[in-house]
Structure 1
Amino acid sequence: MKIIIAIVIFSAIILFHELGHFLFAKLNKIVVTEFSLGMGPRLYSFEKGDTRYSLKLLPIGGSCAMLGEDTDIENEPGTFNSASVWGRISVVAAGPVFNFIMAFVLSVIIVGAVGYEPSRVLSVKEGSAAEAAGLKEGDIITGYQGYHIDLGKDLYVYSYLNQLKEGDTINLTVKRDGKKMDISYKSDTNVRYLLGCNFNGDDTSAMTVESVMDGMPLQEAGIQQGDVITSINGVKITNAADYQKYIQENPLTEKSVKITYSRDGQEYDITVTPKEYRTAESGFTYNMYSEKAKGLNIVKYGAVEVKYMVRTTILSLKELVSGKLGMKDLSGPVGIVDAIGTTYEESKSEGTMILWMNMLNLAVLLSANLGVMNLLPFPALDGGRLVFLVIEAIRRKPINRQVEGGIHFAGLMLLMALMVFVMYNDIVKLI
C-alpha cells in the first residue's frame, strides 16, 4: 500500500508539472506530439488530435514532447521554435510554476485543516544571557542571525544548518505587542561530561551497550557493542532507571569513574575519565506545534508554507555546494518512495487525518522541490533552457541551435549519471 501511495504522489507531481508545459504549448499553438506519464515502454496510449497520450512502465518521470523542440526548424507552423521567444519562455517556465501552484493549493488545505506553526518563544532559561537581554516568553521571532523567520520550522532548519558555536552572538528580531524590536546577546555555553556510548532497552532492561562513539572514553577503554554495564563507582546498575538515578545524583565531571561491565559471562573493571563536551545554547525554546488559522490567514500561511519549502530547498543546495552536506545526503526516486513509505507507516497509528496531512505535506515538499530544481540554470533542465531563451530575447536572435542542442545533451548525460549514482546511493542506504 505504501508503495502505491508513493507512486501516486510522485506521479501526480510530475503530471502537474508536464500539464503546465502542455497547456501553455497549446496556448501558443505549438503541436504536442506526445504527453506521457512515466518513462520507458508504453503500457497504454491513445491519440486525440495531434497528440498521443501515453502511460509508461516506469513511474519516475514524464514528458511533454513538442513538434520541432530539438531541431532548428523555425518557419514550419506548429513547431516549438516557430512560436515567439516570450511564448517559448512561458511554455518552459510553466512546468515549475505549476509545481508551485500545486504546492500552494495543497498547503492551503493543510493549513485550513491543521493550522500553522508561529515562531513563538515558549520559554526563556532563567539566568541566561537571553533573559538578561530582554527576551520574553510569548515573543514572536521574525529574524534570526539576519535570516527572516516566518515559522518555527524556519528557525529549526536554519539553526540546524548553521549551528551555534561557543561565543557566537545571537541576533534576534522579535515582535511583541505589535511592535518589532532587536535583541542581541552572547550565546551561553553548556558544559557536559560524556562517556560516549548509547544504551539499548527501556528503564527495566539491563544496561546493554548499543553503540560506542569514536574517540570517546569508553571506546578507548575497550568497551564494545553488546557489553553490559553492571556498576559505576561500586554502585550496582541493574537497568536504565538505576543508571539515570545515579547520573542525576552523581553528575559526571572531569573526575575518573570506575565502571564494571560484563562480556560473555565474565566481569571486567575499567577506569575512565569522562570527556568534556561544550555546546553553545540560545537560552530559549520556541514553538514547533500547529495553531489554528482563520479566514484569509489560511491563504496567507499557505503561501508561507510554500515559501518555507522553497527556501529550505535553496538552503540545502547551498550547503551541498559549500560541502556542509555531501552527495550521500542526496535522494532520488528510490529514496523518495522509501521516505513516503516510512512516513506512511509511522503515521498510520496517529489516525486518518494526520496520515493524509503528512502525505499532503510530503507532496508539498516534493512539488516545491521539483519546481526549484527545474529552475536551476543547468543544461537540459527548464532553467537551462530559460537561460538560452532569455539570451535570445535580449539579442533578438537565437543562439546556434546545434550548439544549444549539444550543450543540453551534455547536461542530460551528466544528469543521467547523477541519477544513476543517487539511485545506487538510495539502494545502498536501504540495504
Structure 2
Amino acid sequence: MKILIAIIIFSAIILIHELGHFLLAKLNGISVTEFSLGMGPRLFSVQKGETRYSVKLLPLGGSCAMVGEDTAEEELPGSFNAAPVWGRISVVAAGPVFNFILALILSVIIVGFVGYDPAEIVEVQQDSAASEAGLEAGDVITEYMGYHVDLAKDLYVYSYLNSLNEGDTVTLKVRRDGETKEIQYTPDVSVRYLLGFNRSDASSMTVESLIEGMPLEAAGLQPGDTITAINGTEVADGEAYDAYLQEHPLSDEPVEITYVRDGLDYTATITPQEYRTPVLGFSYNLGYQKANGLEVLKYGTLEVKYMIRTTLLSLKQLVTGGLGFKDLSGPVGVVDAIGTTYEESKSEGALMLWMNMLNMAVLLSANLGVMNLLPLPALDGGRLVFLIVEAIRRKPINREVEGMVHFAGLMLLMALMVVVMYNDILKIF
C-alpha cells in the first residue's frame, strides 16, 4: 500500500509538471506529438488529434514531446523553434511554475486543516545569556542571524544547517506587543564529556557506529560490539547506562569500559573527550496554531516559500561541503521516504496521515520546481538560459551547439541518476 501511495504522489507531481509544458505549448501553437506519464515501453496509449497520450511501464517520470524541440528546425509550422521566443520561454518555465502552483494549493489545504507554526519563544532559561539580553517568553522571532524567519520550521532548518560555534554572537529580531526589537548576545557554552559512539536505539548498548576521532574509536572498538560495564558497574541496557551517567557524569578522568565481541569480554581504559556546544538559552514553539480567513492563504504561501528556501539552503550546503553526496536522493529514495512517512503516520489517525502525505507532496513539488530551474544543461533552467540570451540578442544561439550542450548535460544527468539510484538502494538495504 505504501509503495502504491508513494508512486501515485510522485507520478501526480510529474504529471502536473508536464501538464504545464503541454498547456503552454498548445497555447503558443506548438504541436505536441506525445504526452506521457512514465518512462520506457508504452503500456497503453490513445491518439487524439496530433497528440498521442501514453502511460508507460516505469511510473517514475513523464514527458511532453514537442515538434522540433531538439532539432534545428525553425521553418516547420507548429515546431517549437518556430514559436516566438517569449512563447518558448513561457512553455519551458511552465513546468516548474505548475509545480509551485500545485505546492501552493496543497499547502493551503494543509494550513486550513492543521494551521501554522509561529516561531514563538515558549521558554527562556533563567540566568542565561539570552535572558540577560532581554529575550522573553512570548516573543516571536522574525529574524535569526540575518535570516528572515516566517515559521518555526524556518528557524529549525537554518539553525540545523548553520550550527553555531563557540564565541559566535547570536542576533535576533523579535516581535513583541506589535513592535520589533533587536537582541544580541554571546551564547552560554555547554561542556560535556563523550565516549563517541551511537546506539541503534535508546534501549541498546550495542555500538551501531563510532564517531571519528573520538575515544572509543581510538581504543579499537568496532560497530557490533556491546558495552556491558563502566568502571566495573554493569550496564545491561540503555536505561542502566543513562542512570549510571546521571550518578557518575563523565569527566576528563579515565574510565574502564568492558565490552563483548564475538562472545568474548574485552576491556579498554578510555579518557572521555570534552565536547563544547553553544546553547541558545531558549526553546521555541514546534506546535501549530489555527489559521483563519485570509491567514490560510498567507501561511499556505509561506509554507511554499519555506520549502523553496529549504531546497536552496540544502543546495548551498551541498556545494560548500556541508552536505555530502550520500545525502542526495533520487526517485527510489523519494518513494522510500514517502513510504516511511506513511508507515510512521498511520498511528496518528487518518487526518494526520493524509496531511503528512500532502506535506510530502508539497516538499517534492516545490523541490522539483527549484531543481528544474537550475541553470544546468538539459534542465528547464538550462534551456531558459539559452532562450533568455536569444531574447536579449534578438537572434538564437547556434542550434547545433545548443543541442550538443543539452545532450552532454542529459548524459551527465543520466549518469548522476544511476549513481544516486544505486546510493538510494544501498541506503534501503
TM-score for the superposition, normalised by structure 1: 0.94
Instruction: Give the Cα–Cα distance (whole angstroms) in 2 for the partners of residues 220 and 65 of structure 1.
Output: 58
Q: Which residue in 2 is equivalent to 1:120?
A: 120
Instruction: Give the Cα–Cα distance (whole angstroms) in 2 for the partners of residues 183 and 113 of structure 1.
Output: 34
Structure 1 330/243 Cα, relative in aligned 2: closer, same or farther at 3 Å? closer
Question: Which amino acid counterpart does residue 39 of structure 1 have in structure 2?
Answer: M
CA shift for structure 1 position 214: 3.8
Structure 1 175/233 Cα, relative in aligned 2: closer, same or farther at 3 Å? same
Question: Which amino acid counterpart does residue 387 of structure 2 have in structure 1?
Answer: L
- 3-state SS of the aligned residue for 1:181? strand
- 3-state SS of the aligned residue for 1:61? strand
- 3-state SS of the aligned residue for 2:23? helix
CA shift for structure 1 position 293: 0.9
Question: Which amino acid counterpart does residue 143 of structure 1 have in structure 2?
Answer: E
Q: 2:316 aligns with which of 290, 302, 318?
A: 318
Deviations 1:293-326 (A, max 9, x none): 1111110010000000000111111111112212
Instruction: Give the Cα–Cα distance (whole angstroms) in 2 for the partners of residues 342 and 89 of structure 1.
Output: 38
**Alignment pair present for 1:296 and 2:294:** yes
Q: Which residue in 2 is equivalent to 1:248?
A: 246
Instruction: Give the Cα–Cα distance (whole angstroms) in 2 for the partners of residues 298 and 103 of structure 1.
Output: 14
CA shift for structure 1 position 84: 1.2
Question: Which amino acid counterpart does residue 416 of structure 2 have in structure 1?
Answer: L
CA shift for structure 1 position 19: 0.6
Bigger drift between 223-232 and 108-117 goes to 223-232
CA shift for structure 1 position 430: 1.8
Q: Which residue in 2 is equivalent to 1:9?
A: 9
Instruction: Give the Cα–Cα distance (whole angstroms) in 1 for the partners of residues 52 and 355 of structure 2.
Output: 35
Q: Which residue in 2 is equivalent to 1:423?
A: 421
Question: Which amino acid counterpart does residue 360 of structure 1 have in structure 2?
Answer: L
Q: Which residue in 1 is equivalent to 2:213?
A: 215
Q: Which residue in 2 is equivalent to 1:349?
A: 347
**Alignment pair present for 1:78 and 2:81:** no
Structure 1 46/291 Cα, relative in aligned 2: closer, same or farther at 3 Å? same
Q: Which residue in 1 is equivalent to 2:148?
A: 148
Q: Which residue in 1 is equivalent to 2:273?
A: 275
Instruction: Give the Cα–Cα distance (whole angstroms) in 1 for the partners of residues 218 and 77 of structure 2.
Output: 75
> % of aligned pairs identical?
69
Question: Which amino acid counterpart does residue 155 of structure 1 have in structure 2?
Answer: L
Q: Which residue in 1 is equivalent to 2:65?
A: 65
**Unaligned 5+ residue runs, structure 2?**
none
Instruction: Give the Cα–Cα distance (whole angstroms) in 2 for the partners of residues 264 and 423 of structure 1.
Output: 34
Question: Which amino acid counterpart does residue 244 of structure 2 have in structure 1?
Answer: Y
Question: Which amino acid counterpart does residue 295 of structure 2 have in structure 1?
Answer: N
Structure 1 387/262 Cα, relative in aligned 2: closer, same or farther at 3 Å? closer
**Unaligned 5+ residue runs, structure 1?**
none
CA shift for structure 1 position 270: 4.4
Question: Which amino acid counterpart does residue 372 of structure 1 have in structure 2?
Answer: V
Bigger drift between 331-340 and 77-86 goes to 77-86
Q: Which residue in 2 is equivalent to 1:138?
A: 138
Bigger drift between 353-362 and 395-404 goes to 395-404
Bigger drift between 73-82 and 362-371 goes to 73-82
Instruction: Give the Cα–Cα distance (whole angstroms) in 1 for the partners of residues 239 and 423 of structure 2.
Output: 39
- 3-state SS of the aligned residue for 1:285? strand
Instruction: Give the Cα–Cα distance (whole angstroms) in 2 for the partners of residues 200 and 335 of structure 1.
Output: 21
CA shift for structure 1 position 224: 4.9
Structure 1 250/394 Cα, relative in aligned 2: closer, same or farther at 3 Å? same
Q: Which residue in 2 is equivalent to 1:27?
A: 27
Structure 1 209/100 Cα, relative in aligned 2: closer, same or farther at 3 Å? closer
Structure 1 329/290 Cα, relative in aligned 2: closer, same or farther at 3 Å? same
> RMSD of aligned C-alpha atoms?
2.0
Bigger drift between 398-407 and 92-101 goes to 398-407
